[in-house]
Amino acid sequence: MIVCSCNVISDHDVRAAVAESSEALRYAKQVYGCLGCSAECGRCARTIKTIIDEALGPCAGACGVGCAHSQVAANDEAAEAAEFALAAC
């Protein structure tokens, strides 16, 4: 099924990007970058996020100790906090 008509991205494309990426893709923006495109209208972002969460399974919320994504998740949270701190200045 096509989830992004602007970039013609299917749900299979999103799942493949999440499965094959060396990084833990957690946001639609990361999937766009992995697929070599960017968001156009943004209407698909919520659907892409849902597909990412389904593809990651139990790792979608928060990875546990020992999970390969746990270090990446901690780095993502720190970067996101820093981004919002800069935006508030």
For residue 86, what pLDDT is reported?
Answer: 46
Q: What is the dihedral of CA 9, 10, 14, 20, to 10 degrees?
A: -100
How long a stretch of residues is the chain? Answer: 89
Radius of gyration of the chain (CA): 14
pTM above 0.85, yes or no: no
For residue 89, what pLDDT is reported?
Answer: 43
pLDDT digits (tens, 9 = 90+) for 20-71: 887 778 899 999 999 999 999 989 999 999 999 998 887 666 655 555 555 4
* Residue 6, C-beta contacts closer than 8 angstroms, at least 6 positions apart: 39, 40, 41, 44
Backbone dihedral angles phi then psi of residue 7, each to the nearest 5 degrees: -110, 0
